[in-house]
Amino acid sequence: MGLLPRAARSRTAPLALAAALALPLVPAAETTSGPAQDEAMAHPDACTAKAVVISSETGVHAFEVELALSAQEQARGLMFRASLAPEAGMLFIYPNPRTASFWMKNTMIALDMLFVDDTGVVVNIAERTTPYSLEPQRSDAPVRAVLEINGGLSERLGIGPGAQVIHPAFRQAPKTRRCPALAGLPGNG
């Protein structure tokens, strides 16, 4: 079952399928694509602005996300929220890769922060962050985005550094895992 309403899935599934079928064939030596990445790209919610699909060693995991694009949205993040749905998250997208640093001021729930590079690969994860903490959580390298999900969920799902995140924000992803550009996203035109 997808995360988006049936009407939205019926519009996005053909786009995701068309995108997957239109991708050029790349010799195996040039890509780390495999069954999990193929399944991720074929997921009905893949390549939509409000969904993130993650391909890890344990399978494919989909999250319905709120986008934090403006400075104001990014400053507020998930502050003042008492809960977050199990398959939900917030995706902070930057116009260009940068070192990211987050704190938990006024954030009431523990989070996992997945720091994702411009190719859609998880660089590092700040797991089970402490609510209300002012201790910075930083990326180990420049990142294009940060995905916040419920604390402990990345470990429970087997998502770790090296996992592939599928979303239109990752324009430098290998062609076999790149979504079509979407207007309105930073770096997408």
What is the per-residue pLDDT across 59-86, written as a single tens digit (0 to 9) for each? 999 999 999 999 999 999 999 999 999 9
Q: What is the mean pLDDT of the chain?
A: 81
Least confident interval from 20-29, 127-136, 148-157, 176-185:
20-29
CA–CA dist 114, 93 (Å, integer): 12
Specify the amino acid at residue 49: A
State mean pLDDT over 165-174. Answer: 90
How wide is the angle at C-alpha 36 spanned by C-alphas 34 and 38, nearest 5°? 70
Which tokens sit at 116? 């994702």
The number of angstroms, rounded, from the C-alpha of 136 to the middle of its chain's C-alpha atoms is 21
CA–CA dist 17, 147 (Å, integer): 25
Q: Pick 24 or 147 by higher pLDDT.
A: 147
Q: What does the pLDDT read at residue 31? A: 34
CA–CA dist 64, 20 (Å, integer): 21
- Please state, for a pLDDT cut of 70, what percent of the chain lies above it: 78
